[in-house]
Structure 1
Amino acid sequence: MAADSASSGPGGQPDLFSSVTVYSLAACAAQLIVGYILAQRLGRKCSGSDRWTLVWLFYDAIVHFTLEGPFVYLSLVGTVATSDSMMASLWKEYGKADTRWLHSDPTIVSLELLTVVLDGLLAVVLIYAIIKDKYYRHFVQITLCVCELYGGWMTFCPDWLLGSPSLNTNNWLYLWVYLVFFNGIWVVVPGLLLWHSWVELRKMHLGKQKPGKKSR
C-alpha cells in the first residue's frame, strides 16, 4: 500500500498531515481562488450562473495546465517516484492514495496526456465562448463534459476490475478527500453542465417551433 511509504506517527500509524500534505491542499485552494478572481474580472458582463461556470472552467484549465501538465512531463521523462522536484512531491502525496500515479502507469499517463492537451484547450475555448456569447458555446460545453466524464471512468474502471490493488482506502483523508472529493468534482460539475446544456438547447428548440406544435 502507498500508505506504507508515509512517515509514521505515534504507534506506527501513518502521519497524515505532513508539511507536504498542507502544501498540496493549499496549492489546490490557491488554484480555486485564482479561478474565482479571473471569473469575476473577465466575466463581469455574464449572468451569475455563467460566472460560476467560469469559476469552474478557469479552475479546470489551471489544474490541467499547471498540475497535470507537469505530471505528464515527469512521467514521460521518468517517474514521479524517482523525481525530487517540488511538483513531484505533490504527486507523491496523491500517490499515497493511488500508487499508479507514482510509477508512470500507461493508462493514467495516456489519459492525462489527452486531458492536458484536449480538455485544457477546450476549457479555454469554452471560457471565450461564454464571455463573448458565441453560438458554439454548448457544443464545446457538451464535448468538454463528455471528455471529463470519460477520463474519470477510464481512470478508475481498469483498477476496479482488478480489485482496486492500487487504491488505498484505509483512512478518511486518502479515501474521502484525495479519491472521492478531488475526483468526484470532475463528475458532479460536468454532469451539471451537461444538464445545463440540455435545458438551454431545449429552450432554443422550443423557441423555434410553430405555435401549438408539441415538443418531442
Structure 2
Amino acid sequence: MFGSSKDSLPTASNVGSPIHPFYPLGVDVVGYLANKWSVATLLGIFLGGLLVLLGLAWASVSWFSPRLRKLDKLIILWFILSGTIHFFFEGYFALNHTRMGAAQDLFGQLWKEYALSDSRYLTSDPFVLCMESITALCWGPLSFCTAYMITVNHPLRYPLQALVSLGQIYGDILYYATSMFDHYHKNLTYCRPEAYYFWFYFFFMNFIWIVIPGALLYQSIKATSQAFAALYKMSNTLQVNDAAKKSSINGHVKTS
C-alpha cells in the first residue's frame, strides 16, 4: 500500500479482460473504459470551475454583507466549496455508481482517477454508496444553508455549522476506518501501491474534511458556550435585581 512494485501491476496473465489499473488485482469493474482526458486536463477543468465559483461567491458576499469579517467570508467559501462537492460531485457518484467504470464525462473520469486510491467507488461498495448518498442529501444542502446563515448573521449559524462539521468528521472517520479494517483484518487493499495515491489522494484529500470541520466545530461550541454564559449571567442579574426590588418594596410596606 505504501510502496511501489512493478511486479504487482495488472497484466493480461493475472487479471481478466478488460485490464484495468485498480486494486485489489482482479477486482470486477463493470464496463471499464480508460479515461480519455489526462489528469492535468481533468484537474485543470475541475479546479478552474471551483475557482470561478468561489470568486463569484466572494464578490457576492462582499457586496451583500460588506461589513462581514474576512474570516467569516472564508468560512462561507468553505461551506460553498463543501456544498458543491457534496451535492454535485458526490451526488453524481450516488446516482451513477453502477456505471462508473465506463463513464467518460468530467465527474466520471475524475472519480475513476480518484478510485486509483480506493476502488470501492467503482464496485458499488455498500458503505461508500450509503455514506456518499447521505453526504450528498444532507451535508450538501446544509452546507449551502450554513453559508447563507453566516452571510445574513442568522442565530442558527453556529448550530448548523456544528451539525455539518460534525457530520463531515464522522463520515471521514468511518471512511478511513472501514478501509483500514479491510486492509489489516481482511487483507484487502483498495489503493494502488504508489505512495502518492495513498498519501495524497486517499489521506490528504480526505483529511482536509477533518481538520477544517474540526476547527469550525470548536468555534461553534465556543460561541454557543459563550452565548449561554452571557444568558445565564443576564438571568442571574435580573433575578438579583428582582429580589432586591421585592425586598425594597416589602421594607417600605413594613415601615409604613
Does the TM-score normalized on the shorter chain lie above 0.5?
Answer: yes
Q: TM-score range by the shorter chain?
A: 0.7 to 0.9
1:37 matched to which residue of 2?
A: 55
| 1:63-74 equivalences in 2 (<5 Å) | 63-74=85-96
Does the aligned pair in 1 maintain the 2:61–2:151 contact within 8 Å?
yes
CA deviations over 1:53-91 (Å, ceiling 9, x no partner): 01111111111122111111111xx23114344422211
| Separation in structure 1 between the aligned mates of residue 47 and residue 193 of structure 2, nearest angstrom | 24
SS state of the match for residue 134, structure 1?
A: coil
Larger RCO (alpha carbons 8 Å, 6+ apart): 2
Superposition TM-score, scaled by structure 1 size: 0.82
Match of 2:82 in 1: 60
> What does residue 12 of structure 1 align with?
none
Offset from partner CA, 1:85-122 (integer Å, 9 cap, x none): 44222111111111101111111011111100100111
Partner of 1:11: none
Distance 2:209 2:50 in 1: 14
Corresponding residue for residue 26 of structure 2: none
- Alignment partner for residue 216 of structure 2, among 193, 202, 209? 193
TM-score by length of 2: 0.70
Whether the 8 Å contact between 1:100 and 1:166 is mirrored in structure 2 is no
Q: How many residues in Structure 1 have an aligned counterpart in Structure 2?
A: 200
Across the aligned residues of Structure 1 and Structure 2, the Cα RMSD in angstroms comes to 2.5
User: Can you list the C-alpha shifts for 1:111-170, whole angstroms capped at 9, x where unaligned?
Assistant: 111100100111011011111111111111111011111111222212211226243263
CA distance change for structure 1 residues 95 and 37 in 2, over 3 Å: closer, same or farther? same
Q: Which residue of 2 aligns with 1:207?
A: 230
- Please tell me whether residue 20 in structure 1 is matched to residue 38 in structure 2: yes
Q: Determine what percentage of the aligned residue pairs are the same residue.
A: 24
Cα distance in 2 for residues equivalent to 1:35 and 1:86: 17
In structure 1, the gaps of 5 or more residues are 8-17
Give ranges in structure 2 of 5+ residues lacking alignment: 2-7, 11-19, 23-35, 237-256
Alpha-carbon contact 2:79-2:143 (below 8 Å) kept: yes
